[in-house]
Amino acid sequence: MEDMVIKEIGVKSILSRSNLPVCEYSVNPYIGCTHGCKYCYASFMKRFTGHSEPWGSFLDVKRWPKIKDPKKYAGKELFIGSVTDPYLPQEEFYERTRELLMQLKGSGAKISIATKSDLILRDLDLIKDFPDARVSLSINTLDEAFRSDMDNAVSIERRLDAMETFYRAGVRTTCFVSPIFPGITDAEAIIRRVKDQCNLIWLENLNLRGGYKKAIMDYIENTHPQLSHLYRDIYSGRDRSYWEMLDIRLKDYAAELGLDYVTNDDSMKRPFNAPPVIVNYFYHEQIKRSAVKVKKNG
């Protein structure tokens, strides 16, 4: 963190209209993300920031005018953390996410928060006040050594503890198993570990594109050379057979555990104490097109 470049910036609004199928507004209290995940899809944002520093080594802290009419967002879906983690270590000092929640308190807005940090526990009581609040914690390994190779966020155990605390507090909680690294991520072990402490398990494949593709391919070549051929088949040859076989395997595993395994998320219709639903999001392009179509047809 010693070489971290941090500055505060003014923005006209903290809420942005979103084309994402899961929300009407995306909300990001920061620009950049100090977790520095090697596989981060949001690293493309760097080219819009004016930063020359490597992704993960800069952070712009947003300051915005107080939201004048919070109730205008009643019933609207707000996704907090679409291109940055709203609970970075710096949030403990700057409290931008907490300020956002305070401004929206009592508005009737529906919030979803995605994070890799147990700092979210600080705001548990605030989050519980929102109707149908949802919290997602990302876990793609139970191997702490691999986790530390991939990101600078808190340990897996701390994330699991935070997930369970939110679940026991009655907040709809998701374990986001993402990204699944072929031959490395043990999805069955993660499902087995979290099935009694969340409402939903999302499965998403590693999707390599842009500048971080080379970094991940080099990492595999250097640390898991036995998987190099597999990764070349998937990410250069566009071979989907690994994901198709994993899909079948996980569907069978879910059946063994008595869990539903679906390709669309209807978890909000289920009783809170029902077993978690496992949702497969392996094919990004197909799912995105389908979800946008559903959203438009409403």
Q: What is the pLDDT of residues 129-145, one digit of tens each?
A: 999 899 999 999 999 99
Give the Cβ contact number of residue 222 at 10 Å: 9
Q: How would you list the strands of the sheet with 30-31, edge to edge?
A: 5-10, 58-63, 30-31
Mean pLDDT of 200-210: 91
* Alpha helix segments (H runs only) across the chain: 91-94, 96-104, 124-128, 144-150, 156-168, 187-194, 212-223, 228-235, 241-257, 284-297
Pick from 295, 268, 253: nearest CA to 280: 253
pLDDT of residue 231: 98
| pTM score of the predicted model | 0.90
Number of C-beta neighbours around residue 137 at 10 A = 27
**What are the residue ranges spanned by the domains of the chain?**
1-117, 133-207+240-298
pLDDT digits (tens, 9 = 90+) for 45-103: 666 677 778 878 899 999 999 999 999 999 999 999 988 999 999 999 999 999 999 99
Helix (H/G/I), strand (E/B), else coil: 17: strand
Q: Which residue has the tokens 């593709």?
A: 213
Please state, in angstroms and rounded to a whole number, the distance separating the CA atoms of residues 35 and 151: 6
Alpha-carbon span 120 to 131, nearest angstrom: 17
What Rg value do the Cα atoms of the chain yield, rounded?
A: 19
